[in-house]
A and B are shown apart, each in its own frame.
Chain A
Amino acid sequence: MSNEKTTREVLAEKLASEERTPLYNPEALEKVKTEFDRWKGTVVREKDRENWDVTPQTILGSEIPRGLIYTPLDNADLDYEKDLGFSGEAPFARGLHANMYRGRTFTMRQLSAAGSPEEVNSRLKMLLDRGATGTNLALDLATVQMFDSDEPEALGQVGTVGVPVDCVEDMETIYKDIPIDKISASIVTHYPRNTSIVFPMYLVMAERRGISWDKLPGSSQNDFIMENVVRSASEYIPPRDDFRVQCDNIEFLRKYVPKWNYVTLNGYNLREWGTSGITAMAVAMANGIEILKDMERRGHDVDWAGERIAFFWSPANDFFEEVARLRAARRLWYRIMKYRFGAKKPRSMLLRCHVQTSGVSLQREEPMTNVIRSAYHALAAALGGAQSLHIDGYDEAYSVPSDEACVLSLRNQQIIEAETQTLQVVDPLAGSFFVEAMTNEVENRILDEIDEIEKMGGLVEAVVSGWLHRKAAEYIQREQQMIADGTIKVVARNYFRDPDLKMPEIWSQEYDEKLGKAMIDKLARLRMRRDNIKAGNAINALVGACKSEDNVMAACVECARADVTEGEMRRAFTDGFGKWNSPIFV
């Protein structure tokens, strides 16, 4: 470790030097303390006094202890302006925009998956017709793992869990007749390498439609934690190289596709794989910190680089903690940007997030109960001030969502918006003694974990050493044990399980042999039709970019223009960088 200060040290120093104006006067607090002690000592039963703090046990929980009751004593030094402020202003605990959902409700962005490019084009248009306000594209397994539909690894899996994209032509089919310069698109590329490969196909599609890149709104994930830690795969490139690819993509997109959110730091999948919400946020922010350090090293201004970083969170069961987490994360990111990086523009200090309700929290037993679980998860996201929301299908444990489950999830969002009246008032849980205490606690715990990562040499090092892999594997196995022994109660599964439980008939995606064959034939035609010398040169240039310091995404755009396929680009990356073994497998 260098003698560079850690984020926690920088923040502690800066915050200590600020003058604070406590909201509560000391005399009033003293009185509350006296009365609290009296009440606790005489009115509260001895048993409740002894068990004052309980540790909540739930799926994907963080085990932050809870007291029986919260009072001003739990927020004794609250400085309204410094700690909360107003919505649309620092420190953004209360929300990113002054009018929040009165101005614009969260984007209802349901992930849309499965089938051929033609079928997915129809589904995207169907969801837009029913009121969805953005598109969200899930890629099939081969595409996510960067294989072509005709490689042996893809046998029997083309078009499962998402849409296959092998080349620019597929992008043209998927977005046909959708105004991509007006409706924002989320393209779930997950990994840096996959972003380098698939996103240029979107850019070249736009180019062929005559839409200039600076008009394209949307986002891609581009997160090396997804590629090297969360993902299971037969082939990895070394984490340090993948981190570089992530930063190359950011630099390229920032320059040439200015309305595109070039990185979505993905706490969601990490948490769903197996960490607490605290670790998920700490890792995502640690990645953000390393990205900004790298951008500084490349000579870019932090406000230029930081402006379009987005985050992706998973709200699960622990309702108030979930709300507190979203509030805490916004405040902490603001503090990191302002104090650690000296950002000047308010926009680059904003933690904007897409939220997807937790899938791992959903159950196979009595699957309609999942509609109820997801509604609580989604309400927590709305009360926490999320910008964009996907609600999981109730059939999560059975299949990718059916059309019926997709529409029901969208209805769930619309009920929150139009019927519950919860969106009228900004940050309605602010000022709750409990929620404010949780917000502080969560912020501290995230910062503690960022500190731990920085002290081991940064996030790339925490991945290379296997620390993060081991942490998740232990979490997963411990959680399973706690469900098995009933410590974690799951309704209908281990708590009030129906003795005559029958598994319902739920549609599960079956493999469409015809789709696989159609994709394979299309690739064969493409390889006949294209200029293979031009394609070969573009591939060689990509290998060269990996081995030098040239921007890899720029090289991938040339590949897409030459109709190079996804698998061909993947192999160029491994030729350029070599392979790495994940520490999770032996």
Chain B
Amino acid sequence: MTNKKVRVLLAQFPLETHSRGIITVAGMLRDAGMEVILMGNALSEQIVETAVQESVDVIGISTYCGGELAQGRKLLEIAEKKGIKERTAFLMGGIFPPTDIPKLQGMGFDGTFLSATKEEIVDCIENAVVAKG
């Protein structure tokens, strides 16, 4: 890894009402020396657009209320279309059925968390960023 700060975009799907999780994770990642852009609720198109503008290394999605499969798939499709899928790490955390984890990984999510410590999330990001070059 270079000394360049890892840039992370944190967002939620458009209807998500909960933000305790994303605020918590934003604090953890800033604490770990990363640059965090806390975007909030957005459509996949807007998330990818912001990711391109801000040249982020990581997109993290916080979800509690369903939609992880349908919205997650859409996010990755748009990221691929805009040419950032290969170089960006995708993470998802929150509450969703454990049975969705292999499906999300199959789609291309690099990390999926139903609960995690700061160290686990930071490790996952660092490894994924290295792997994505």
Q: Taking beta carbons and an 8 Å cutoff, which residues of A are in contact with B?
A: 141-142, 144-145, 147, 152-157, 160-161, 231-234, 272-274, 360, 364, 397-399, 473, 476-477, 480-481, 484, 503, 505, 508-511, 582, 584-586
Chain A residues whose C-beta falls within 8 Å of the C-beta of B42 in the assembled complex: 234
Chain A residues whose C-beta falls within 8 Å of the C-beta of B43 in the assembled complex: 152-153, 234
Complex alpha-carbon distance, A586 and B118, angstroms: 22
Complex alpha-carbon distance, A157 and B68, angstroms: 9
Report yes or no: A141 in contact with B115, Cβ–Cβ below 8 A. Answer: no
Is B108's CB within 8 Å of the partner chain A?
Answer: no
Report yes or no: B95 in contact with A397, Cβ–Cβ below 8 A. Answer: yes
Number of CB contacts from chain A to chain B under 8 A: 117
Chain B residues whose C-beta falls within 8 Å of the C-beta of A234 in the assembled complex: 14-15, 40-43
The B51-87 residues at the A interface (CB cut-off 8 A) are: 64-71, 74
Complex alpha-carbon distance, A476 and B42, angstroms: 22
Q: Taking beta carbons and an 8 Å cutoff, which residues of B are in contact with A?
A: 12-20, 22-24, 26-28, 37-43, 64-71, 74, 95-100, 114-115, 117-118
Complex alpha-carbon distance, A144 and B66, angstroms: 14
Chain B residues whose C-beta falls within 8 Å of the C-beta of A147 in the assembled complex: 15
Report yes or no: B15 in contact with A157, Cβ–Cβ below 8 A. Answer: yes
Complex alpha-carbon distance, A272 and B64, angstroms: 15
Chain B residues whose C-beta falls within 8 Å of the C-beta of A142 in the assembled complex: 15
From B24, B27, B39, B115, A585 is in contact (CB under 8 Å) with B39
Complex alpha-carbon distance, A233 and B42, angstroms: 8
Residue on A nearest B74 in the bound complex, by CB: A155
Complex alpha-carbon distance, A389 and B42, angstroms: 35
From A272, A480, A582, B28 is in contact (CB under 8 Å) with A480
In addition to A156-B69, A160-B67, A364-B115, 14 A-B residue pairs with Cβ atoms within 8 Å of each other are A141-B66, A147-B15, A153-B15, A155-B74, A156-B71, A157-B66, A232-B22, A234-B14, A364-B114, A476-B20, A477-B23, A508-B95, A582-B40, A584-B38
Report yes or no: B15 in contact with A154, Cβ–Cβ below 8 A. Answer: yes
Chain A residues whose C-beta falls within 8 Å of the C-beta of B18 in the assembled complex: 232
The verdict on A586 contacting B15 (CB below 8 Å), with A397-B95, A484-B117, A509-B66 known, is no
The verdict on A156 contacting B14 (CB below 8 Å), with A234-B43, A273-B19 known, is no
Report yes or no: A232 in contact with B70, Cβ–Cβ below 8 A. Answer: no
Report yes or no: B23 in contact with A509, Cβ–Cβ below 8 A. Answer: no
Chain A residues whose C-beta falls within 8 Å of the C-beta of B114 in the assembled complex: 364, 503
- What is the CB-to-nearest-CB distance from A394 to chain B, in angstroms, rounded to a whole number? 14
Complex alpha-carbon distance, A509 and B65, angstroms: 9
Complex alpha-carbon distance, A323 and B7, angstroms: 45
Chain A residues whose C-beta falls within 8 Å of the C-beta of B100 in the assembled complex: 510
